[in-house]
Amino acid sequence: MQQQQQHDIHEEKILILDFGSQYTQLIARRVREHKVYCEIHPYNLSLERIQAFRPQGVILSGGPSSTYGSSAPHVDKGVFELNIPILGICYGMQEIAEQLGGTVGHSEQREFGMASLNSLTDDPLWAGLDFPEQVWMSHGDKVLSMPEGFSAIGETENAAIAAFSNPQRKAWGLQFHPEVVHTTPGRQVLKNFLYSICDCHGLWNMHSFIETTIAEVRAQVGSGKVILGLSGGVDSSVAAMLLHKAIGDQLTCIFVNNGVLRQSEAEDVQEMYGRHFNMDLRYVDASQSFLKLLAGVTDPEKKRKIIGNEFIRVFEDEAHSIEGVDFLAQGTLYPDVIESVSFKGPSAVIKSHHNVGGLPEHMKLKLVEPLRELFKDEVREVGRELGLPSEVVDRQPFPGPGLAIRVIGEITEARLHILRQADAIFIEEIRNAGLYNEIWQAFAVLIPVKTVGVMGDERTYEKVIALRAVNSVDGMTADWVRMPYDLLGRIANRIINEVRGVNRVVYDISSKPPGTIEWE
Ligand code: XMP
């Protein structure tokens, strides 16, 4: 039974070979939206591993290189002899051309942005399209001549070969990006590739994922004991729920209060998981030990290190008090495990991100990572299927070091208290305005500066709160939210009136880059 279910959702798979495009992850998400499982691997995956993966189809991603450059990345040519459908996108199309005997060259007219695509012939990829169609281009190179057996199936003003195919060889190439929303027929084109050309049926859905994963976890864990660091964020919450469903009280969750949580966060998490879902939840109030270590520390990276290390120490301590633990569960997601040439965004280097639940290696625990195949939107769907409420599954991201990197400079109880109140007002008003789920992240920051104000007849000399609200797709880039003025006004008024010690509120209108989302 277990084997059968596992077989089902992974029966049809698409392999995405990554040449370093910023859109590779998007291709994977689009494929999964069509309910087909896929994985991203580096472009140089060995032919042996490609075959072992047994893909129903292969997609070659875009990439920043030129196929004719001396250090150009190339796929193992054997992939073209496997009789598996191949779709090349942008660089991927040029790679097909280059490898099979066509020519690629620099395009006189570089094409960035929208273009109008016309079809040159009927093709299974074009089923259901209504030409001319709007497509999104981003390239400096193009296919100048096609390999033998290929014919152009689409053109734009600047590209006579905007799409080509060779159905005998089961190869298709698109100069445009079907995965970006600006390509109007993008979804349909990918669907045609997956369903008509690769013969997929759409077996990947979160309901079956849950069933399969529960069976897998039971098989992996047996009668063993599992611990999990619950932060209250989406990933650890969904991982906890899934494991709880699979192994019940063989799971113990540990929730550490690190002293830099938001208002009523510790109580909310205990209420929700302990009482509401009846999980074995150990609450560890380590706030004093964290705050002691953080006293006088102003450097953001030092704050992160202290919190990361102390978390591991406290977590380990607590874990030792539970007898016979064999496994450590983590809410690791697919983007964290993609072994790839892209996605190494600059923030990884600019700030060291210590995620709650980092593995203390010497504990010698085996890992259980039930979400490692999933993208964030899929994790949310799993959470909803498991009955978690919207407050949890639609939660905005919250950094592991918590308010420590939002109290700029020195962290004291008094400053945390001010920030907590201001932050709670900000979030409450955003929720009341119905904007919470529209915003990637919204939070308050306490600036260690005093400014002069007047309240009643009194001169005040108090602190400044900055409000930050950004929209983002993955946290790598972000734009500030154009919040209604009335709402901003109401929030500022409430904070100044209700939070003692604050007499000024400012709104952060920096984008990322060059700013980052957090202030520290
Ligand atoms: P930045 O500030 O780098 O943030 O633009 C990007 C995203 O990462 C979150 N962030 C962190 N998350 N530990 C975390 O777990 C950290 O040290 C950390 N620093 C930033 C930030 O909230 C945003 O979602």
Question: Per the structure, how many domains does the chain have?
Answer: 3
Which residues of the chain carry a pLDDT beneath 50?
1-6, 343-349, 354-357
Tokens of residue 5, six digits:
């279910």
Compute the half-sphere exposure of residue 219: CA atoms within 13 Å on the CB side of its CA. 11
- Do residues 253 and 304 share a domain? yes
Does residue 203 contact residue 62 with C-beta atoms inside 8 Å?
Answer: no
CA distances from 279 to 3, 63, 202, 212, 237 (A): 28, 46, 34, 22, 11
* pLDDT of res. 393: 95
Other C-beta atoms within 10 Å of 403: how many? 25
- First and final C-alpha spacing in the chain: 50
Containing domain of residue 337, as a range? Answer: 206-393
* 128 and 191 housed in the same domain: yes
Q: Which atom of ligand 1 lies at the shortest distance from residue 478's CA?
A: 5
Residue pair 178/137 in contact by the 8 Å Cβ criterion: no
Q: 471: CA distance to ligand 1 center in Å?
A: 14
pLDDT of res. 8: 75
Q: What is the CA radius of gyration of the chain?
A: 26
Q: Flag whether 1 is in a domain.
A: no
Between strands 37-42 and 225-229, the pairing is unpaired
Residue 326 located in a structural domain: yes
70 found inside a domain: yes
Kindly report the CATH number assigned to the domain that includes residue 230.
3.40.50.620
213 and 254 in a single domain? The answer is yes
Is there a domain that residue 41 lies in? Answer: yes
List all residues 6 or more positions away from 30 whose beta carbon is below 8 Å from its beta carbon. Answer: 178, 179, 186, 187, 190
Inter-CA distances, 201 with 1, 8, 9, 246, Å: 21, 11, 10, 28
For residue 425, the CA-to-ligand 1 centroid distance in Å is: 22
Take atom 3 of ligand 1 and give the residue whose Cα is closest: 347
In a domain, 436, yes or no: yes
Local structure of residue 121 (DSSP, 8 states): S
Q: Are both 193 and 314 inside the same structural domain?
A: no
pLDDT tens figures, 161-188: 999 999 999 999 999 999 999 999 999 9
The reported pLDDT for the residue numbered 37 is 97
Q: Ligand 1 pocket check: which of 517, 519, 520 to mutate, most ligand atoms within 8 Å of Cβ?
A: 517
List 139, 177, 244, 354, catalytic entry: 177
Ligand 1 atom at minimal distance to the Cα of residue 519: 2
Q: Residue 441: CB within 6 Å of ligand 1?
A: yes
Residue-wise pLDDT tens digits, 11-28: 999 999 999 998 999 999
Q: Whose CA is nearest to atom 4 of ligand 1?
A: 517
Q: Any catalytic annotation for residue 253?
A: no
Residue 518 Cα to ligand 1 midpoint, Å, equals 6
The closest residue, in CA terms, to atom 7 on ligand 1 is 475
Q: What's 431's domain CATH number?
A: 3.30.300.10
- Pick from 370, 393, 416: which residue ends a domain? 393
3-state DSSP call for residue 118? strand
* Residues contacting 482, CB < 8 A, separation 6+: none
Beta strands in 146-258 (DSSP E): 151-155, 163-166, 171-174, 225-229, 251-257
Answer yes or no: is 515 within a domain: no
CATH code for position 188:
3.40.50.880
Q: Which residues pair with 507 in a beta bridge?
A: 467
How long is the chain? 520
* DSSP annotation of 158: S
Task: Kindly state if the Cβ of 300 falls inside 6 Å of ligand 1.
Answer: no
Q: Name the closest-CA residue to atom 10, ligand 1.
A: 399
For residues 364 and 419, state if they share a domain: no
**Which atom of ligand 1 approaches the CA of 356 most closely?**
15
90 is catalytic: yes
Final residue before a domain boundary, out of 197, 216, 250:
197
State the DSSP H helix or E strand holding residue 119, giving kind and residue range, or none if neither: strand 103-119
Whether residues 41 and 112 share a domain: the answer is yes
Question: Helix/strand/coil (H, E, C) string of 53-116?
Answer: HCCCEEEECCCCCCCCCCCCCCCCHHHHHCCCCEEEECHHHHHHHHHCCCEEEEEEEEEEEEEE
Same structural domain, 92 and 193: yes
What is the model's pLDDT at position 6?
46
